[in-house]
Chain A
Amino acid sequence: MTEFLIANMAPIMFVSLIIFLMFGYAVTFSLAACGLFFGFVGVELGVIQASFLQSLPLRMFGIMQNDTLLAIPFFTFMGLILERSGMAEDLLDTIGQLFGPIRGGLAYAVIFVGAMLAATTGVVAASVISMGLISLPIMLRYGYDRRIAGGVIAASGTLAQIIPPSLVLIVLADQLGKSVGDLYKGAFIPGFVLTGLYVGYIVLISFIRPQWVPALPLEARTIKESDGSSGLRSLSILTVISVAMSVAFAKWLPDTTPTDETIVVSMCVGVGFAFFAAIVNKATKMGLLSNMAERVTFVLIPPLALIFLVLGTIFLGIATPTEGGAMGAVGALVMALARNRIDMKLIRQAMDSTMKLSCFVLFILIGATVFSLAFQGVDGPIWVEHLLSGLPGGQMGFLIVVNILVFVLAFFLDFFELAFIIIPLIGPVAEKLGIDLVWFGVLLAVNMQTSFMHPPFGFALFYLRSVAPAEDYIDKVTKQPVKKITIEQIYWGAVPFVIIQIIMVALIIAFPGLVSSGQSKEPTVDAEAVLMQMRADTATDAAAEAAQTSDADQVDPVKALMESMKEDQGKKP
C-alpha cells in the first residue's frame, strides 16, 4: 500500500487537487491545503526531504517582489476609473450613429467600440455593462435578433482579454517566464484578426438573415447638419486625408524603423492631423467639417490618446508594461477629472475594488505556489511531462490535448486559476517540445477567453444578464412594447462566438506567423531591423528583467535548482 502510494504520489495528488477544489471552499486555500497535506504525507513517507517545504516563505517573498504582477493593480485601477469617465458611452453613441444606418451597423459599432476599449484597458465588466445598457436597448428597439445582440455584446467585451494591455497576458507572461511586452506584441495581430472574425460573422448574418440585423432608419440619427444631410462626405474626406498623411509619414520614416514603431508613430500623425482640423474648425466656426466629422474626431481622441500613452510607450520601449499601466491609470484619472465625472467616493470604490481583486489574484498565486512546490517534491512535473510528451503526434498532439483540456476546464475555472494551476505544469513541457512560449501564451490566451463566454458561468454573460432587460417594457422612443431578454437567448447568442474562438485557436496553430514573435524568425526581415527591434525590446525590459532575475535567483534557490535539473535532463537524451 505504502509502496503504491510512493510510486503514484503525483497522480494521486493531482486527482486530490480536483477533489479539494470541487469541495467548494475558496480556491486559494484549497490549493494551499492540498499542497501542505501532500507535503506532509511526502515527508512522512520519505519522498520529500523535510527541509523542502522550508523554502515556502522565500517563494512568497519572491511573489511580493514580482515587478510584472504590479501591472495587475495598475491596469485594473485604470479600467475602473475609465468606466466611470463616460468615454465608452460617448464612443458607443457616436459610432452607433455613424454605422447605424447600414445593415448590421449597430453590431459593427459594438465590435468596434469593444476592440477600442479593449486596447485601452483590460477589464471585461466595464465594456459589457456599458454596451448592455446603451447599445442593447437601441438594438432591441429596431428589431435586432436577441441572440445576435446579446452574443455580440458579450463577445466584444471579452476582446479586452486578448487585445493588449490585458491582464490575461500579464499573468501568462509571468507564468511562462516571458516578457509582457513580447506577449503584447504577439497578441496584437491575433486580437485584430479575431475582431475581424466577429465582423465577418455579422456580415454573414446580414446576408443570410438580413431581418436579424436591420439597418436603423435615418431618423434615428441625431448628429446631422443643419440642412439635414448626414455630413458623411466631410468625414470620409477627413479620414482619407488623415490616412494619407499616416501612410506618407510611414513611407518617409527610414526603412530600418521597426514595424510596430512605424505603425504607432504614423497613427499618431494621422490622428493628430484630424484632431488639429477639428479644433481649428470648432474654434473658427468655419464649418469646413460636418458635425459628424467633428464629433467622431473628438470622441476618438481620448481612447486613442490613452492607447498611445499605454501601448505606444510600451511598444516604443519608452515604458515597461508596469509603468505603462501606471501612466494609463494616471491618464484615466486626469481624463475623468477633466470631465468632472469622478469624485472622492468613486476613487475610493475603485481603490477598494482594485485591492480586493489584487488580493484574490495574488493569493491564488500564493496557494498555487504551495501546491506546485509540494507537487515538485513528489516529482509531479516529471509525471506530467511523461504524460504529455508521450502523446501521439508530438507537438501537434500536445497542442490539441492541451487546448481541449483548457477549453473544458474554462467551463469551471476562471482564467486566473487556469493560469496559475495549469500553466506551470504544461509550460515546461511545451518548451521542451520546442514550442515558442510567446506563441504558446497567445494561443492559450485566445483559448482562455472562452472562459468568459462559456454558458452558464461565463463572466461576460453574467454581467450582460445583470443589465439586460429582465421584464417586458415599453420603449421610450417608439412607444412600442419590447420583450425581455431571456437567459437562454444570451447563452445561445454566445455559442457562435465560442465557435469563432475555436476557429481562431485553429488559425493560430495553422498559421503560427500570426503571432509576431519577439525573436523575429522570418528570414525576409533584414538583420538591421531585427537588431533594432532587439535593441528596443531589451531597452524595454532590461531594467525590469535584470532586477527580476537577480532577485529571483537570490530568493528562489529551489526553483533555480529545479531549473538546472531540468536543463540537465534535457541534455541527457
Chain B
Amino acid sequence: MDFLLSLSKRIDQLSEWIGKWVAWLVLASVLVSAANAISRKAFNLSSNAFLEIQWYMFAAVFMLAAGYTLMRQEHVKIDVVSGRFSKRTQIWIDIAGICFFLFPFVIYIIKLAMPLVINAYVTQEMSSNAGGLIRWPVFAMLPLGMLFLGIQGISELIKRFAFLQGMIPDPSKKQGAKTPEEEFAEFLLQKEVAAREAAQIGAQK
C-alpha cells in the first residue's frame, strides 16, 4: 500500500504540474482573441491561424486539465441521495464510479480516437480554412486528455482505498482548503469592509 500511495502522490504531482501550466493558456487565449478582434476591426488584419489557435488553446485547456479537475473534485456530483449515506458508503460509490464509469469511458474513447489521430498525423491533415493550422496536435489532445484523466483516476482510486483503511484523511474533500468564493469573501472582509466600516464610524463622530 505504501508503494501505491507514493504512486498516487506522484500522479497528483503530475496533475498539479499540468494544471499549473495549462492554466496559462486561459490568459493566452483571452489575449489572442482580443488582439485578433482589435486588429481585424482596426487594421482589417486577421488570419485563420489566429482564429484557430484560440480554440486549439481552449481545447488544450479543458482536455489536458481533465485530470487536474478530477483531482480537485470539481466534476460536479448530484448528492441529493448519496449525501444522506455514511462517509464510507460515499467512498464506495466513488470507487464504483471510478471503476465502472470513468475507466471504461476513458479506455473506450482512447481506443476510438487513436486511429483518427494517427491518420491525421500520417496524412499531415491541414485545416480546410486558408492559412489554417495543422490538425493532428489538437486531435491528439483528446486521447492525451483522456489518458491524464485515467491516470488521475488511478490515483483517486488508491486514495479512496487508503482512506477506507484509515491511512489518509478524506480524499473526497475539496483540496486547496478554500474555494475561490471563500477566498474572495475573505479578501473583501479584510480589506474592503473594514475600511468602509472605519469610514462610517469616522463620519458618525
| Among A57, A134, A323, contact of B193 (Cβ-Cβ < 8 Å) | A134
Residue of A23, A74, A137, A351 near B82 (CB, 8 A) is A23
Quick check: is B173 within 8 A (CB to CB) of the other chain?
no
Query: Which of A319, A358, A476, A554 touches B37 (beta carbons < 8 Å)?
Result: A319
Contact between A70 and B65, CB atoms less than 8 A apart? no
Which chain A residues lie closer than 8 Å to B169 at the CB level? none
Once the chains bind, are B108 and A329 in contact (CB under 8 Å)? no
Q: Which of A49-73 contact B (CB under 8 A)?
A: 53-54, 56-58, 60-61, 64-67, 69-70, 73
Nearest-CB distance from A152 to chain B (Å)? Answer: 19
With contacts A25-B101, A29-B97 known, is A413 near B78, CB below 8 A? yes
* Cα A33 to Cα B75 with chains together (Å): 15
Q: Are A318 and B41 in contact (CB under 8 A)?
A: yes
B87-121 vs A, Cβ < 8 Å mask (1 yes, 0 no): 00010011011101110110011001100100000
Are A326 and B34 in contact, CB atoms less than 8 angstroms apart? Answer: yes
Q: Does B80 lie at the interface of the complex (its beta carbon under 8 Å from any beta carbon of A)?
A: yes
> Contacts of A134 on B, CB cut-off 8 Å?
188, 192-193, 196
B154 within 8 A of A: no
**Is B144 engaged at the interface, CB distance under 8 Å to the other chain?**
no
Complex: chain A residue closest to B120, CB-CB: A61
**Are B75 and A463 in contact, CB atoms less than 8 angstroms apart?**
no
Number of A-B residue pairs with CB-CB distance less than 8 Å in the complex they form: 238
Give the most central of B33, B104, B116, B139: most A CB within 10 Å: B33
Q: Does A383 contact B (CB under 8 A)?
A: no
Select from chain B the residue with minimum beta-carbon distance to A414. B76
Q: Which of A83-91, A250-258, A299-307 contacts B (4 or more CB under 8 A)?
A: A83-91
B141 at the interface (CB under 8 A from A): yes
Chain A residues with Cβ below 8 Å from B78 are 21-22, 24, 27, 412-413, 417
Given contacts A352-B19, A359-B69, A463-B181, A57 and B113 within 8 Å (CB-CB): yes
The reply to whether the CB of A133 lies closer than 8 angstroms to some CB of chain B is: yes
B188, A362: Cβ atoms closer than 8 Å: no
B141 near A326: Cβ-Cβ < 8 Å: no
Q: Which of B34-71 contact A (CB under 8 A)?
A: 34, 36-38, 41, 51, 54-55, 58-59, 61-63, 65-66, 68-70
A189–B102 Cα distance when bound, in Å, is 43
Is there an interface contact between A554 and B128, defined as CB atoms closer than 8 Å?
Answer: yes
Rounded to whole angstroms, the CA-CA distance of A342 and B200 in the bound complex is 25
Q: Does B26 interact with chain A (Cβ within 8 Å)?
A: yes
Rounded to whole angstroms, the CA-CA distance of A58 and B109 in the bound complex is 11
Given contacts A25-B96, A25-B97, whether A33 and B105 have CB atoms under 8 Å apart is yes
CB closest residue in chain B, given A323: B37
A351 in contact with B72 given A33-B104, A323-B36, A330-B31 (CB within 8 Å): no
Quick check: is A14 within 8 A (CB to CB) of the other chain?
no
Question: Which of A26, A86, A547 is close to B192, meaning CB atoms less than 8 Å apart?
Answer: A86
Which chain B residues lie closer than 8 Å to A319 at the CB level? 37, 41
A356 to B62, CA, bound (A): 8
Decide yes or no whether A370 CB sits under 8 A from chain B: yes
Residues of chain A within 8 A (CB-CB) of B180 are: 80, 125, 349-350, 352-353
Q: Which residues of B contact A550 (CB under 8 A)?
A: 128
Query: Distance in Å from the Cβ of A18 to the closest Cβ of chain B?
Result: 10
Q: Is the CB of B105 within 8 A of A36?
A: yes
Chain A residues 344-399 with CB under 8 Å of chain B are 347-360, 362-364, 367, 370
Does chain B have a CB within 8 A of A144?
no
Q: Tell me if A490 counts as interface (CB < 8 A to partner B).
A: no
Q: Which residues of B contact A26 (CB under 8 A)?
A: 70, 75-77, 97, 101-102
Complex Cα distance A354/B93, Å?
Answer: 28
Chain B residues with CB under 8 A of A325: 33
Residues of A contacting B109 with CB < 8 Å?
56-57, 60
A449, CB-defined interface residue at 8 Å: no
Name the one of A64, A133, A356 contacting B142, with C-beta atoms under 8 angstroms.
Answer: A64
Alpha-carbon distance A201/B30, docked complex (angstroms): 40
> Which residues does chain A contribute within 8 Å of B58, judged by CB atoms?
64, 69-70, 73, 358
Do the beta carbons of B181 and A356 come within 8 Å of each other?
no
Do the beta carbons of A359 and B197 come within 8 Å of each other? no
Centre residue among A137, A351, A367, A547 by max chain B CB count within 10 A: A351
Residues of chain A with a CB closer than 8 A to B139's CB: 61
The reply to whether B61 and A355 form a contact with Cβ atoms under 8 Å apart is yes
Set of chain A residues within 8 Å of B17, measured between Cβ atoms: none
Cα-based distance from A564 to B74 in the complex (angstroms): 38
B199 within 8 Å of A by Cβ?
yes
Query: Are A355 and B81 in contact, with the CB atoms below 8 A?
Result: no
Q: How far is the CA of A27 from the CA of B203 in the complex (A)?
A: 52
| A20, A323, A417, A466: residue with the most chain B Cβ atoms closer than 10 Å | A323
> CA separation between A152 and B83, bound complex, in Å?
29
**Which A residues between 1 and 26 are near B, CB-CB below 8 angstroms?**
20-26
Chain A residues near B38: list those with CB within 8 A: 327
Query: Does A558 have its Cβ within 8 Å of any Cβ on chain B?
Result: no
Q: Given the complex, which residues of B lie within 8 Å of A58, measured CB to CB?
A: 116
Smallest CB separation, B52 vs chain A (Å): 9
Q: Which of A206-230 contact B (CB under 8 A)?
A: 219-220, 222
A7 smallest CB distance to B (angstroms)? 27
Contact A351 B105 (CB under 8 A): no
By beta carbon, the residue of chain A nearest B46 is A543
15 contacts between A and B (CB under 8 A): A24-B83, A25-B77, A26-B76, A29-B102, A56-B112, A57-B113, A57-B142, A73-B26, A74-B30, A125-B184, A130-B188, A133-B188, A350-B180, A355-B69, A417-B78
Contacts A25-B94, A134-B193 known; 18 new A-B pairs at CB < 8 A: A24-B77, A27-B78, A29-B97, A86-B192, A133-B188, A133-B192, A134-B188, A137-B193, A222-B200, A320-B37, A326-B30, A326-B31, A353-B180, A358-B26, A358-B61, A363-B66, A477-B200, A477-B201
For the complex of A and B, list the 10 residue pairs with the smallest distance between their C-beta atoms, beginning with the closest.
Answer: A24-B82, A25-B97, A326-B33, A323-B37, A26-B75, A64-B59, A33-B101, A57-B113, A351-B23, A29-B101
